[in-house]
Structure 1
Amino acid sequence: MRGSHRLIACFFAAAVTAATPAMLSAQTDVTASAQANGDPALLVADNVLVAQDERLIATGNVEALQGDYRLSASRIIYDRSADQLTIEGPIRIADPEQGILILADQAELDEGFRNGLIKGARLVIDQHLQLAAVEAARVEGRYTQLSRVAVTSCQVCGPNETPLWQIRASKVIHDQEARQLYFDNAQFRLMDVPIFWLPRLRVPDPTLDRARGFLFPTFTSSTLLGFGIRTPYFIPIGDSQDITLTPHLTTKSRTLEFRYRRAFRNGDVTLLGAVSGEDFRKEGARGYLFAEGLFDLPRDYKLRFDIRAVSDEAYLNDYNYSSDERLASNLTIARVQTDRRVSFSLTNYQSLRDYEDNETQPGITASAYTDRRFFFDRVPGEFRLSAELSGLYRESDLDVDGPDDDLLVDGRDAARMNIEASWRNRWTLAGGLRAGLSTHLFFDHYVTDQDAAVPDRVTNVTPGAALELRYPLVRRSPRGARTLLEPIMQVGWVGGERGLNANEESTRVEFDEANLLSLSRFPAADRREHGTTLAAGLRWMHEAPAGWSTALTVGRVWQDTTDPEFSRSSGLDNETSDWLIAGRFANPLGITLSARGLLDENDRFSKAQARAGWSNTRMDLGASYVLLTKDVFEERNNTVSEWTFDSRYQVTRNWETATEVSYDLADRRLDRVGLGLQYQNECIQVDFGATREFASATNLEPSTEFDLTIALKGFGIDGSAKEYRRICR
C-alpha cells in the first residue's frame, strides 16, 4: 500500500481548502489538486466534515482512490496531529498491482497504512488464497502479521461450512515484497481433521511465479521399481535460469532427476536427465541426459540442437521416461529466405534394440544442403540450383555383412555429393488446361569404403524431364458450396542407368499423394528412378456452406521397367503400381477422418494408415490404425497391424478421464493400456494414472505403474481455477 500516506495527505489538504467546518452532504466529492506519483487523488463520501482544521471525518459509502488503489469503508477519521487513521468497517482495501485484497471490521493505521492494527481481518491474495485472522498488524508497509489464522483456497459459502482443506496457524507473516508466507505452528487439516503438524512452514504466495522450494510430490508404484515418492525441489537462479532437482526414492532404487533451463537474449537451452542406483541390477549407476536448445545466429541463421544419450538399452523404458527404440542426437544450422536455403546438420544415432549392434549401425551422419532460385527478365520460367553433401560412418571395420539379421554391410561408410540444375515453367492453355514443363540435370558422385560388394567411387551425370497436365474443374453452388474436380497427369523421363553405389538411405519408400507427380519417389539422392514413367490421378475436394469439407485423391504410376530397389510394401515393385487412395473429412462438430493406403492387384491393402477423431470442449476421442505387410527387404519378417485408441472426457466440471490402448492385431495381444483420472475444484487437484506395458522386445520387461499427485491450489499451481469456483447461494 505504498503511496497511501500521500493519498491521505492530499485528501486532508484538499478538504481543508475546499470545505467549511460545517457538514458537507449529498455526495460531496473532494478532488486533490496535488498528485502522488503522477496520479490524482479522489475522495468520495456521502458526508465530509473538517473539525478544528485537525480532523477529517468522512462518513457514508466512503471511497478513497488513487491510481489503482481503492479503499472503501463506512467511516474514515484522520487526525493530523496524532498521525492516526481510524477506519470503521466493513473495510475493503484493494491493491490490484500486488493482487491483494484486505477485508476487515475495523482498523487503526498510520497515515501511510505502513503500521497499525486491523481487526477481523481477511486477506485474499490473487483472488484465490484466503487468510482469515482475528487480527492483523501492518509493519513498515511491507509485512502483514496475522494472528490465529485459518488459510485455504476453498470456497466457503456459509459460517458453518468446513473447507475441504485448511492450514491453521498461531501466526502467519505475509512478506508483500518477497511474496512469501511464513507459518508458525502450522497444522494441516482435511475436512477439519488434523493430519500433520509443522513448527515452521514457508510457502510462496500465489502471485509469485518462480519461488524456491518443494513442489507437490508424486506417489508412484511399479512392479519393477516398487513403491516410491517423487519430490521436486525448484531453485530459481536469477531471472533467466532455474534448476529443478527431483529425488525419486523407491523400495528398489534411488534416483535423482534434474531439469535445467536457461534463457539467453538470442535463445534458450533445456537439460533433462537422471542418475539411478538400484538393488535389482548389479551394473552400477544408470542414467540418461537429454539437451535441447534453439538460438538465433547472425545473418538470420538458426542453431538448433537436440542431444540424447542413455547408459543402457532398457533404462528409459524401466523408468518410463521414453518409449523410443532409437535415440537421435542432432545439431542443425539453417537459414531459409525467399529465394535460397542453406542447412548444415550432424546426427548421431544410438539404437536401444537388443538385436541391433550400434557398431554396425550408421551411428554418425552429416549433411550440408543449399538451393537457390533464379529469375531472369528475358528468359521465362524459373531456374533452380541445388547441392548436397552427405556422409555416414560406422564403427565396425568389417567389409561384409555379418551374422546379424539386417541386409547391410557391417562396416560400410559412405558419402555422396549431389548437384541438380533445373528449369521449370507453367502455362494456362485454352479451356483452362494447366501445363507444366521441367528439365533437369543431375550430377551424382558416391564414395564407399569398407564394402567389398560395391566400387569405391561411382559418378553419374543424368538428364531428366517432366511434362505435367492438370485440368481443374470448379463449381460453385448458389448456396456457397465449392467443388473441385482435377484430373492430373505427368509423363517423366530420367536417362542413364542405375549406378553400382550402395543403397544406404532409400531402403524405405513411401508412395503417397505428395510424390505422385515426381521424377523420383526415393527419399534420398543415393537412388533415382530411371526410364519413362506415367503418373495419373484424380483429385476431388468439396467445401459445404455448413462448414464441413472432404477430399479424395486416387492415383497410379506406370513404369516402362521395374526398379528392383522398390520393395513389396512400397507399392511400386511392378510396372503398374498399386492404387494410391487417400482421403480426409472434417466438420464443425469436431469430427475428423483421414486415411491413406496402397491397394494391390488382389484388392488387398499392402500398406495403410487411418485416423479418426472427435474433439470438442468436453472430449477428445481418437483411434488410429496402421498396417504394414511382411517385407523382408525392409527387414520386417512379420506383418504389423495395430490399433491405438486414446481419449479425454470431461465427465463433469470437476472430473476428467483419459485412456490409451494399443492392440496388436497381428499377434492378438495388448501392447499398452493406460488410464488417467483427474479431479479438481477451486482448491485441490488430484491426478491418478495407471499404465501397463506389455513387452515386445527382448531388452524390455513388462511393467505396471501407478502415479498419484495431490496438489493444493494457491501454492504453486498455475491459474486461479475460477472456472471451478462454486457459486454460493
Structure 2
Amino acid sequence: MTTSPRFLCPLVAVAALTLGSPSEGLSQSASSGTQPSQSAPSEPRNVVLVADSVNVTADGLLIARGNVEALSDDVRLTAREIIYNDTTGEIVLKGPIRITQGDEATIVADAAELQSDLRNGLIHSARLVLADQVQLASARMTRLDGRYSVLDKTTVSSCHVCETGEPPLWQIRAQRVVHDQLEKQLYFDHASVLVRDVPVFYFPHLRMPDPTLDRAQGFLIPEFNHSSLLNYGVKVPYFIPWGTERDLVLSPYLSSETRTMEFRYRQAFEKGGIQLEGAISDDTIRSDIIRGFLFAEGLFQLGQDYKLTFDLKAVSDDTYLTDYDYADYDRLNSDITIARASRTENTRFAAYHYQTLREDEDNDEIPFLVLKAETERRYLNMWGGELRTSVEAHGHQRRSTKDGDAGRDVGRANANVQWLGDWTLGNGLRTGVTGALAFDAYRTENDSSVSTFDSGLAPSVAAYLRYPMSKTGTDGATYILEPLAQVAWTGGDTLEVANDESTQVEFDEGNLLSLSRFPSYDRRERGLSSAVGMNWSRISSKGWQGSLTFGQVIRQDAQPDFSKSSGLSGTSSDLLVAGQLRNQSGLLFTGRALLDTKGDLNKAGARLGWSNDRLWLDASYIWLEKDLVESRPNDISEMKFDGSYRLNRHWTGMMDWQFDAVSGKTSEAGVGLEYRNECLRMELSLSRRFSTSSTVQSSTRVGFNVALLGFSVNSNDKSYDRKCG
C-alpha cells in the first residue's frame, strides 16, 4: 500500500526527536555560560516505513501494525504498532518499542505518547542506553523541548544486569535524573550510590557527563596513596576545558606532610600544540624552600616543511622528582629544535640545556648549554653511485672557568664529502666502494693542555664484499648465510683537541663496517683496518625468525683513544656476538656481547619482550666492566623487569623489579593487582625505592584508586564483561 509522505515524515521524526536530531549541536561553548539556542528540527529525509500492514482510516488515522520499522539516516525505530492522528498531530506507539541512533543512544520502552510538535511526550517503562555503556531505567521518561529526558525514580549503572534479579556490582538510584542531550550531561537529584544493593554514599545533587561526551568539566577519578615520606594522601584532579582547543587539569595533593598543586595544561593551535605539566609543593621534607617542577613539550609546523619541537625540563632541587615519584631522571635534558627531513636531506638547528641531579656531578662543571646546526644531503645517481655532503657547527659551554675538564668550552666546525657505490655481480656477490674527505676545525677555551685552535683534513677510502646465500630446508624454513669483509684506510693527523664528546663508544652490528666508530668528530679512527663478519638467519614457515651476527675489527695500529671496555682497543677488537629471536606469539629477544681473546665479557646486554592477550613483559640485563676512562669506577650488572599477567577475565597482576647484581641489592620493586569488569576498575599498588645515595631517601608508596567505568572512562573492552548464569 502506498502511503503519503505527509504521514511518513512525522513517524520517522518520532525516532529522530526522541533521541535528538543528528543535526543538533552546540551553538556556543559550554564554558561561556550562555544557553545554547535550540533550533526547530528539520524534517528527516530518505524516509522508509515498513510494516506488516499500513492503513489510513477515513477520520485521518494512519495505523501501522506488526513488525513496524521506520528508518531515516542513522535513526531506526521498531514497534508493534504506531498510530498517527493527522488531525491532532498526536502519535501513539505501542511496544515493545526500540529506538536507536547509531552507536550513541538506544531507548527501549513499552509505550509512548508524543504531542503534535514532536518535542514533548511521555514514554512508559523506559530504558535509555548511552553509547552501549550506561543504562538508565525508569518507570516513566518525559521528553521536553526535544532536548531533555526527565526520568523519575531512576536506576543508573554501567554494569551488566542479569535477568536473575541479582543486583549489579554498583548502581546509582535517584529520585530524578535529567539528561541534557545538547550539553551531554546527566543531572541527579537525591542520588545514592549502592554497592551490591548497600548504600555507601549520598549526594543531594550530582552531575556527570554522559559517555558520548569527550571533554566535560568536573572532577576526575581521585587517587589515594601512602608514602613513607609524605604519609597518607589523596589527589583530586579537576578538569577544565576551554573551548575545543585547550584544557587544564588541577590536582590538589593533600597529606599531613605536603600541600601540593599539580597541573597539566594543553592547547592545540592551527599548526601545532603545547603541553605544560608540573607541580608546586610546600612540604616537610625541604621546609626551607618551595619545591616544584615544570615540563613543557610542543610541536609546530613551520614553512618549507620545517618542524619546531621543544622539550623543556626544570626542577627546584635534585630529589623532588623522586620524592614525589614523578620521574626517575638523573639528568634533565632540554632541547629546542627546528628540523626538516626528507629522502635526500636532513637539516637541524638545535639548542640543548643540561641539568644534572647526580650527587657526584657539579652543574657548573658539565656542559650546560649546547648549540648545534647541521645539514646532510644526498645526491643520487652521481657518477654511478651516491654522493653525500654534510656540514655541522657545534659549540658547548660550561659555567665554570677552571682550567681543564671542569671549565673547558669548545666550538667546532666539520664538513664531509662522501661518495658511495655498490654493485651486485652475476654470481650474487655484492661489492661496494666508499671514498670520503672530511675537514675538522676546533677552538678550545679554558684548557691549557690542548691547542687553542687546530684543524685538519681526513681522507678515507673503503671497499667491502658481501656474499648472501640462501636455501630452503626440509622443514620448510629459509636459511640465509652472509659472510662479509671490509678494508678501510683513513689518513690525516690526530688533532690536538680534548676528547670531550667521544668518551662513550659502542661497538655493535650497526657500525661493524663504519669508517669511524667514535660517536663524534673530536676523535677519528686512522690508519689501515679491516673488518670481518658473518650474518646468519633462519625464517620458519610457522612464523619463527632468528638471526646471529659475528664480527671483529683488525687494524694495523692500535687506537689509543678507545678504552678497554669499548671492545676496540688494541690491534684486534673483541669478538662481537649479537642475535635476535622473534615468533608469531609476540616474543622478541635481542642480545649483544663483546668477548675478549680469553672469552671474558667486557660488555653484554639482553632484552626480552613478550606481548599477547594475557601477558605483557619487558625484561632487560646489562653488564659493563669497570673503566675509569668512561668514568665507571665499578662494574655494572643490572637487571630490570616490568610486566603484567591477566590471571583471569577480571584480575590482572603487575610487577616491576630492578636489581643491582654487583651489590646484591634491589634498587626498586613494585607489585600491583587490578580488578576490572565492564563497569568498575580497582587498582592496588605497592612500591619501594631503595636509596643509592646520601641525597635520595628510601621510600615506600601504597596506591589505591577506583574508577566507575562508562562515564568519563571508556569501557568498551568486552573481554572484561561479566556473564550471566
When normalised by structure 1's length, the TM-score is 0.92
The verdict on how the C-alpha distance between 1:576 and 1:647 changes in structure 2, with shifts beyond 3 A counting, is: same
Deviates more, 1:347-356 or 1:423-432: 423-432
Whole-Å separation in 1 of the counterparts to 2:711 and 2:378: 56
Q: Which residue of 2 aligns with 1:485?
A: 481
Deviates more, 1:350-359 or 1:586-595: 586-595
The verdict on how the C-alpha distance between 1:557 and 1:509 changes in structure 2, with shifts beyond 3 A counting, is: same
Counterparts of 1:498-537 in structure 2, within 5 Å, are: 498-537=494-533
| Structure 1 residue 676 corresponds to structure 2 residue 668 | no
Q: Which residue of 1 aligns with 2:396?
A: 392
Q: Which residue of 2 aligns with 1:45?
A: 51
- Contact 2:12–2:72 under 8 Å retained in 1: no
The verdict on how the C-alpha distance between 1:439 and 1:68 changes in structure 2, with shifts beyond 3 A counting, is: closer
The verdict on how the C-alpha distance between 1:627 and 1:11 changes in structure 2, with shifts beyond 3 A counting, is: closer
The verdict on how the C-alpha distance between 1:11 and 1:545 changes in structure 2, with shifts beyond 3 A counting, is: closer
TM-superposed deviation, 1:209: 0.7
Whole-Å separation in 1 of the counterparts to 2:425 and 2:165: 83
The Cα RMSD (Å) is: 2.0
Counterparts of 1:310-325 in structure 2, within 5 Å, are: 310-325=315-330
- Contact 2:11–2:84 under 8 Å retained in 1: no
| CA deviation profile, 1:320-352 (whole Å, cap 9, x unmatched) | 111010010011111112222211111000100
- Contact 1:7–1:36 under 8 Å retained in 2: no
- Contact 1:417–1:446 under 8 Å retained in 2: yes
| Structure 1 residue 445 corresponds to structure 2 residue 441 | yes
Secondary structure in structure 1 of the residue aligned to 2:505: coil
TM-superposed deviation, 1:478: 7.0
Q: Which residue of 2 aligns with 1:17?
A: none
Q: Unpaired runs of 5+ in structure 1? A: 14-34, 401-408
Whole-Å separation in 1 of the counterparts to 2:461 and 2:246: 55
Aligned match for 1:128, one of 123, 130, 133: 133
Secondary structure in structure 1 of the residue aligned to 2:384: strand
Whole-Å separation in 2 of the counterparts to 1:280 and 1:586: 47
- Contact 2:51–2:66 under 8 Å retained in 1: yes
Aligned match for 2:428, one of 428, 432, 436: 432
Aligned match for 2:545, one of 545, 549, 552: 549
| Structure 1 residue 74 corresponds to structure 2 residue 80 | yes
Q: Which residue of 1 aligns with 2:332?
A: 327
Whole-Å separation in 1 of the counterparts to 2:10 and 2:359: 79
Secondary structure in structure 2 of the residue aligned to 1:415: strand
Identity %: 45
TM-superposed deviation, 1:480: 4.9
| Structure 1 residue 251 corresponds to structure 2 residue 256 | yes
Aligned match for 1:381, one of 352, 377, 385: 385
Secondary structure in structure 1 of the residue aligned to 2:364: coil
Secondary structure in structure 2 of the residue aligned to 1:431: coil
Whole-Å separation in 2 of the counterparts to 1:280 and 1:331: 33
Q: Which residue of 2 aligns with 1:93?
A: 99
The verdict on how the C-alpha distance between 1:153 and 1:658 changes in structure 2, with shifts beyond 3 A counting, is: same
Whole-Å separation in 2 of the counterparts to 1:234 and 1:7: 47
Q: Which residue of 1 aligns with 2:163?
A: 158
| CA deviation profile, 1:428-483 (whole Å, cap 9, x unmatched) | 34633322112221111000001121111011112121121222222244765322
Secondary structure in structure 2 of the residue aligned to 1:40: coil
- Contact 2:88–2:116 under 8 Å retained in 1: no
| Structure 1 residue 472 corresponds to structure 2 residue 468 | yes
Secondary structure in structure 1 of the residue aligned to 2:365: coil
| Counterpart AA for 1:254 | R
The verdict on how the C-alpha distance between 1:454 and 1:683 changes in structure 2, with shifts beyond 3 A counting, is: same
Q: Unpaired runs of 5+ in structure 2? A: 14-40
TM-superposed deviation, 1:517: 0.9
TM-superposed deviation, 1:308: 0.8
Q: Which residue of 2 aligns with 1:406?
A: none
Secondary structure in structure 2 of the residue aligned to 1:395: coil
Counterparts of 1:227-306 in structure 2, within 5 Å, are: 227-306=232-311
The verdict on how the C-alpha distance between 1:111 and 1:70 changes in structure 2, with shifts beyond 3 A counting, is: farther
- Contact 1:48–1:57 under 8 Å retained in 2: yes
Counterparts of 1:141-180 in structure 2, within 5 Å, are: 141-158=146-163, 160-180=165-185
Secondary structure in structure 1 of the residue aligned to 2:221: coil
| Counterpart AA for 2:395 | G
| Counterpart AA for 1:255 | T
Whole-Å separation in 1 of the counterparts to 2:79 and 2:485: 81
Q: Which residue of 2 aligns with 1:362?
A: 367
Count of aligned pairs between the two proteins? 694
Whole-Å separation in 1 of the counterparts to 2:76 and 2:608: 54
TM-superposed deviation, 1:196: 1.5
TM-superposed deviation, 1:159: 5.5
TM-superposed deviation, 1:108: 1.7
- Contact 2:246–2:265 under 8 Å retained in 1: yes
Q: Which residue of 1 aligns with 2:32?
A: none
TM-superposed deviation, 1:8: 5.1
When normalised by structure 2's length, the TM-score is 0.92
Q: Which residue of 1 aligns with 2:71?
A: 65
| Structure 1 residue 414 corresponds to structure 2 residue 418 | no
| Counterpart AA for 1:64 | A
Q: Which residue of 2 aligns with 1:665?
A: 661
Whole-Å separation in 2 of the counterparts to 1:322 and 1:595: 27
- Contact 1:180–1:205 under 8 Å retained in 2: yes
